[in-house]
């Protein structure tokens, strides 16, 4: 897999980001974990940020998360404004990460459950984002009525 147009390939000298993008393309949300100390971290890296070991492997994540904080960006570089960005705690991963949240600001609450979703950005590339679990459940309920 080659890097998307405009992405600096020199930043991914070990191939971890391209591997991550390929996994997203296959609708797989994964990250790396340390075989030495057992730490699971996101975003994927070629070494462990805890013990600095380079003995890392890929691990598929369930894609469950909790919304820790969120805001709305009125000017967006890549997506249509306004964009909602959240600080999320991914289940099974140490720490918190920023991510796009696929929901209106008014429908979000701190502590709500999220699930991973895949965003098609064109040319065969996908990014991850999160959406509230209850939105998916209510959509399914409406479809069954």
pLDDT by 10s per residue, the chain, length 145 = 555 555 555 565 678 888 998 899 999 999 999 999 999 999 999 999 999 999 999 999 999 999 999 999 887 666 666 889 999 999 999 889 999 999 999 999 999 999 999 998 888 888 899 999 975 555 445 545 5
SS3 of 21, please? helix
Domain boundaries along the sequence of the chain? 12-144
Which pTM does this prediction carry? Answer: 0.79
* Of 109, 106, 113, the residue nearest 136 (C-alpha): 113
Measured CA to CA, the distance from residue 5 to residue 45 in angstroms comes to: 22
Q: Alpha helices of 1-145 — where are they, by DSSP H? A: 16-25, 133-144
């Amino acid at each position: 897999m080659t890097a998307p147009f405009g992405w600096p390939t020199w930043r991914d000298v070990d191939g971890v980001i391209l591997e991550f993008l390929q996994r997203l393309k296959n609708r797989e949300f994964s990250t790396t974990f340390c075989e030495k100390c057992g730490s699971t971290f996101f975003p994927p890296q070629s070494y462990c940020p805890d013990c600095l070991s380079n003995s890392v492997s890929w691990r598929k994540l369930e894609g469950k998360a909790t919304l820790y904080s969120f805001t709305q960006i009125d000017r967006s570089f890549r997506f249509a404004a306004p964009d909602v960005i959240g600080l999320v705690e991914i289940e099974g991963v140490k720490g918190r990460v920023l991510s796009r949240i696929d929901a209106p600001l008014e429908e979000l609450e701190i502590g709500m459950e999220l699930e991973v979703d895949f965003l098609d950005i064109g040319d065969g590339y996908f990014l991850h984002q999160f959406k509230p679990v209850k939105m998916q459940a209510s959509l399914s309920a409406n479809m069954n009525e």
